[in-house]
Structure 1
Amino acid sequence: MSGGWADSDRKGRLPADWPLLRRIVIERAGGRCEVIKKNGKRCWDDGTDVDHKVAGDDDSLANLQLLCKWHHARKSSAEGNAAKAAYRAQLKHPVETHPGIIQGPPRPTKNKGF
């Protein structure tokens, strides 16, 4: 099975004081998921995963949040899908016109009497 921590080098890039940072984030959040739902209310589930708000290696407390398993999985999936889409976009080649086609000025649209 692939995915998650098994294929990631992220765990090795965490700072030496990660356990302390994690504990601070959990205490700051009161142990509860910090996601604010569409109805404006905070998620009621227990927080289990300390997550980076903005992906990358910014381990500042301002960039860390506590999420429940469900919200963390949803956010990670969205980030993974966005990364895959960006990668696929890089692989696409621009559409080329046939070398025998002469591109002239755009033709005016015909007035249909309206």
Structure 2
Amino acid sequence: MSGGWAGSTRRAELPPNWYSQVRPFILDRDEHRCRWRENGTVCGRWANQCDHIGDRDNHRPENLQALCEHHHAIKSSREGSEARWRETARRKPERHPGLI
């Protein structure tokens, strides 16, 4: 796999019925329309992606939404960036030279 999926185990973490039942149910429920909200407006473009709103291990319908490919990429990129910053080793803050 290329891109963000390279080396990922995410597909293995999804329930066995993800592609046969869960994902199709969410896309049908949301009428294959992107639920991305920005400035109080819903995108509404054709959605072919199923996204976890909150906890990525919670596969209940209340935690899932349909997104278009464009907005799912934006959301995933933001989440990945936030995770990287949390994991980045930061240098310990140095004391101010005048306080030494």
Match of 2:10 in 1: 10
Give % identity.
37
Find the structure with the greater CA-based Rg. 1
Give the structure with the higher percent strand: 2
Give the structure with the higher percent helix: 2
Match of 1:73 in 2: 73
Q: Distance in 1 between matches of 2:51 and 2:90?
A: 32
Match of 2:85, as an amino acid?
A
> 1:2–1:84: structure 2 CA closer, same or farther, 3 Å change rule?
farther
Between 1 and 2, higher relative CO (CA 8 Å, sep ≥ 6) is seen in 2
Q: What pairs up with 1:47-62 in 2 under 5 angstroms? A: 47-62=47-62
Q: What pairs up with 1:1-114 in 2 under 5 angstroms? A: 2-18=2-18, 19-38=20-39, 40-88=40-88, 91-97=89-95
State the aligned residue count.
Answer: 98
Shift of 1:55: 4.3
RMSD of aligned alpha carbons: 2.1
Q: Distance in 2 between matches of 1:36 and 1:30?
A: 16
Contact 1:47 1:69 in 2 (8 A): yes
| TM-score (normalised: structure 2) | 0.84
Match of 1:6, as an amino acid?
A
